[in-house]
Every structure is written in C-alpha cells, then in structure tokens.
Amino acid sequence: MDRHVLQPHTRASIRVVTSAGTEELVGWVLPSDDDQLSLRTRSGERQVQWTQVTAYRSVGVPRGRDPLRMPVGELGQLAEHAGLIGRKFVTRLSQLLDGRDPVPPVGDGVALFGEWAAASGEVELFAAAWWAAQADARNLLVVTDDASHIAELTVLGFAERTL
C-alpha cells in the first residue's frame, strides 16, 4: 500500500482489523510515521498500526445543507454573534476544499456555530476553511466589505446573500 496517498489534514476512510474484528474508521489524517497512522474521528483521536490497515481511501469534506437555503436574517445573526459587519458570502466547505491540496488549518478568527463557520475576509481563507471542516462545520460564511476580498470570494464560487 502506498501510504503517501493519505496526506495530513485530509479526510479518509480506513478499514482496520483488530482482535475485536474489522472496523471502518472515518476521520481526519494527522501526521503519522512508518509504524502507525493517526486519525481524528468524531469520537476522538485513534492510532492504528499500519499492519492493521487492510484498505483506505481519501474521502471528501462532508457536504452538509445548501447554504443558499439559510435565511439571510439567520446569517446576519451568525455574523453578529461572531462580531462581523459587512457583506455576507457563503459556500459549502466541500465545494471550496474538495480537490485542493490541504494547508495546515488555522482557527484564529473563525467562529463556529454548529454546521456553520463564520470569518472575516481578513483571515487566511484556506487555512480557516480547512480548520472549520476539521471542526465539523459544513458551510462557511465570510463577511467583508473589502473589494479585493469580494473579488477573490466570487472567483472561488462564494455566493453573496442579501435581503
């Protein structure tokens, strides 16, 4: 097996065989070594020996609900709770991140609200998005009035939400 397929900060499905039987693990790949694989699952961090791994594959970021169906008033409340003022742009994290090489996640300046993450246009967008996805967010709200940030968000497929 080519272990290099599983890059840190990506999501994977791993099948392992233990004394209790076969188990399927889904989670975020953490930096690993030649002997074991570290995976952060919804139930916590797991370490498995490579010798226990029988199959693995990369899987995308969980899709979540359509961010365009979120009422604009509720987006405004999220922005307010995060202390953000400006125009509101939304996207699914899966749409933004799937197919891209991961960057180390950074959560500074990102607020979590269930399946939503909110950030200003000032944050490093991809580092914030990878962090939000690994924190189980499904959608990203970026609030900004800066024209250069708005242009970047538009190119990346974000949709503006207005009243």
Copy the structure tokens of residue 153.
């968000």
Task: Enter the CATH code of domain 3-59.
Answer: 2.30.30.520
- pLDDT tens figures, 80-102: 999 999 999 999 999 999 999 99
Beta strands in 3-156 (DSSP E): 11-18, 21-30, 36-41, 44-49, 53-59, 87-92, 110-113, 116-120, 139-144
- Sequence spans of domains, the chain: 3-59, 67-161
Model pLDDT, residue 6: 82
**C-alpha 133, offset from chain centre:** 2
- CA–CA separation, 9 and 15 (whole Å): 18
Residue 3, pLDDT score: 58
CA dist., res. 97 & res. 30, Å (int): 17
Q: What confidence tens digit (pLDDT) does each residue in 107-144 have?
A: 999 999 999 999 999 999 999 999 999 999 999 999 99
pLDDT in tens, 74-83: 999 999 999 9
